[in-house]
Chains A and B, each alone.
Chain A
Amino acid sequence: MIGAAWRSLTRSKLRTFFMMLGVAVGVAALTALASVGEATRQETLRQFKRMLGTFDTLTIRPGAGSTRGMPSVSTVEPSLKFADGPAIAEGVPGVLRVAQVQQTFDLDVSYRDESVVPLVLGVSSNWADIRDEAVASGSHLTEEDERALARVAVIGADVASVLFKGEDPLGKVIRIADVPFQVKGVMATRGAGPGGASLDNMLVIPVTTASKRLFNRDYLSTLVVQLRNEGDSDRVADDVRALLRERHRIIPPAEDDFTVSSPRATLAQIQQVGSTLSKIVTGVAAIATLIGGAVIMSLMLIGVSERRREIGVRRAVGATRADILAQFLAEATLISALGGAVGIVIGAGGATVGALLQQLPPAYMWSMIGGAVALSLAVGIVFGLYPAWKAANVDPIEALRS
Chain B
Amino acid sequence: MIEASHLSRTYTRGDGTPVTALRDVSLAIAPGEFVVIRGASGSGKSSLLNILGCLDTPTSGSYRLGGENVSALSDNERSHVRSKRIGFVFQNFNLLPRATALENVELPTLYTGAAPDHARARQLLAQVGLDGRADHFATELSGGEQQRVAIARALMNDPPLLLADEPTGNLDSAAGESVMQLLTSLQREGRTIVLVTHDEHVASFAEREIVIRDGVVASDTRRRERVQA
Q: Which residues of A contact B56 (CB under 8 A)?
A: 397
Smallest beta-carbon distance A294→chain B, Å: 26
Q: Tell me which of A317, A400, A401 has the highest count of chain B C-beta atoms within 10 A of its own C-beta.
A: A317
CB-based contact B55/A316 at 8 Å: yes
Q: Which residues of B contact A318 (CB under 8 A)?
A: 79-80, 82-84, 108, 111-112, 157
Q: Kindly specify which of B88-96, B141-149, B193-201 makes contact with the partner chain.
A: B88-96
- Is B167 an interface position by the 8 A CB rule? no
Residue in A closest to B103 when the chains form the complex, CB atoms: A7
- Is A4 an interface position by the 8 A CB rule? yes
How far is it, in angstroms, between the C-alpha of A395 and the C-alpha of B76 when the chains are bound? 14
Contact with B along A114-135 (1 / 0, CB 8 A): 0000000000000000000000
Q: Which residues of A contact B157 (CB under 8 A)?
A: 317-318
Q: Kindly specify which of A87-95, A200-208, A306-314, A348-356 makes contact with the partner chain.
A: A306-314
Smallest beta-carbon distance A6→chain B, Å: 13
Contact with A along B104-121 (1 / 0, CB 8 A): 000110111000000000
- Is A320 an interface position by the 8 A CB rule? yes
How far is it, in angstroms, between the C-alpha of A312 and the C-alpha of B107 when the chains are bound? 13
How far is it, in angstroms, between the C-alpha of A320 and the C-alpha of B99 when the chains are bound? 21
How far is it, in angstroms, between the C-alpha of A142 and the C-alpha of B84 when the chains are bound? 95
- Is B44 an interface position by the 8 A CB rule? no
Count residues of B near A (Cβ-Cβ below 8 Å): 28
Q: Tell me which of B55, B76, B92 has the highest count of chain A C-beta atoms within 10 A of its own C-beta.
A: B55
CB-based contact A319/B75 at 8 Å: no
- Is A396 an interface position by the 8 A CB rule? yes
How far is it, in angstroms, between the C-alpha of A372 and the C-alpha of B53 when the chains are bound? 47
Contact with B along A1-45 (1 / 0, CB 8 A): 000100100010000000000000000000000000000000000
Residue in B closest to A316 when the chains form the complex, CB atoms: B88
How far is it, in angstroms, between the C-alpha of A4 and the C-alpha of B96 when the chains are bound? 13
Residue in A closest to B47 when the chains form the complex, CB atoms: A397
CB-based contact A314/B111 at 8 Å: yes
Count residues of A near B (Cβ-Cβ below 8 Å): 22
Residue in A closest to B46 when the chains form the complex, CB atoms: A401
- Is A284 an interface position by the 8 A CB rule? no
Smallest beta-carbon distance B91→chain A, Å: 10
CB-based contact B76/A317 at 8 Å: no
Contact with A along B55-71 (1 / 0, CB 8 A): 11000000000000000
Smallest beta-carbon distance A321→chain B, Å: 6
Q: Which residues of B contact A314 (CB under 8 A)?
A: 107, 110-111
Q: Which residues of A contact B76 (CB under 8 A)?
A: 320-322
CB-based contact B110/A319 at 8 Å: yes
How far is it, in angstroms, between the C-alpha of A289 and the C-alpha of B92 when the chains are bound? 41
Q: Which residues of A contact B38 (CB under 8 A)?
A: none
- Is A323 an interface position by the 8 A CB rule? yes
How far is it, in angstroms, between the C-alpha of A113 and the C-alpha of B149 when the chains are bound? 98
CB-based contact B107/A320 at 8 Å: no
CB-based contact B55/A397 at 8 Å: yes
Smallest beta-carbon distance B105→chain A, Å: 11
Q: Given B75, B99, B153, which contacts A317 in the complex, CB threshold below 8 Å? A: B153
CB-based contact A310/B112 at 8 Å: no
Q: Which residues of A contact B82 (CB under 8 A)?
A: 315-318
Residue in B closest to A1 when the chains form the complex, CB atoms: B110
Smallest beta-carbon distance B4→chain A, Å: 18
CB-based contact A312/B94 at 8 Å: yes
How far is it, in angstroms, between the C-alpha of A314 and the C-alpha of B110 when the chains are bound? 9
How far is it, in angstroms, between the C-alpha of A89 and the C-alpha of B94 when the chains are bound? 91
Q: Given A4, A321, A397, A402, which contacts B75 in the complex, CB threshold below 8 Å? A: A321
Q: Which residues of B contact A312 (CB under 8 A)?
A: 94
Smallest beta-carbon distance B62→chain A, Å: 20
How far is it, in angstroms, between the C-alpha of A401 and the C-alpha of B156 when the chains are bound? 23
Residue in B closest to A319 when the chains form the complex, CB atoms: B111
How far is it, in angstroms, between the C-alpha of A318 and the C-alpha of B110 when the chains are bound? 9
How far is it, in angstroms, between the C-alpha of A397 and the C-alpha of B82 when the chains are bound? 13
Q: Which residues of A contact B94 (CB under 8 A)?
A: 309, 312-313, 316, 400
Q: Which residues of A contact B107 (CB under 8 A)?
A: 313-314, 317
- Is B50 an interface position by the 8 A CB rule? yes
Residue in A closest to B84 when the chains form the complex, CB atoms: A318
How far is it, in angstroms, between the C-alpha of A401 and the C-alpha of B41 when the chains are bound? 13
Given contacts A312-B94, A313-B94, A396-B55, contact A320 B79 (CB under 8 A): yes
Can you name 18 A-B pairs with beta carbons within 8 Å?
A: A312-B94, A313-B95, A315-B55, A316-B55, A317-B107, A317-B108, A317-B111, A318-B82, A318-B112, A319-B79, A319-B110, A319-B111, A321-B76, A321-B79, A322-B76, A323-B79, A397-B55, A397-B56
Known: A317-B107, A319-B79, A321-B79; 4 extra A-B contacts, CB below 8 A, are A314-B111, A317-B156, A318-B79, A323-B111
Interface residues of B (CB under 8 A from A): 46, 50, 53, 55-56, 75-76, 79-80, 82-84, 88, 90, 92, 94-96, 98-99, 107-108, 110-112, 153, 156-157
Across chains A and B, which 9 residue pairs bring their CB atoms closest together, nearest first? A318-B83, A318-B111, A317-B108, A320-B79, A11-B98, A313-B94, A319-B111, A316-B88, A320-B76
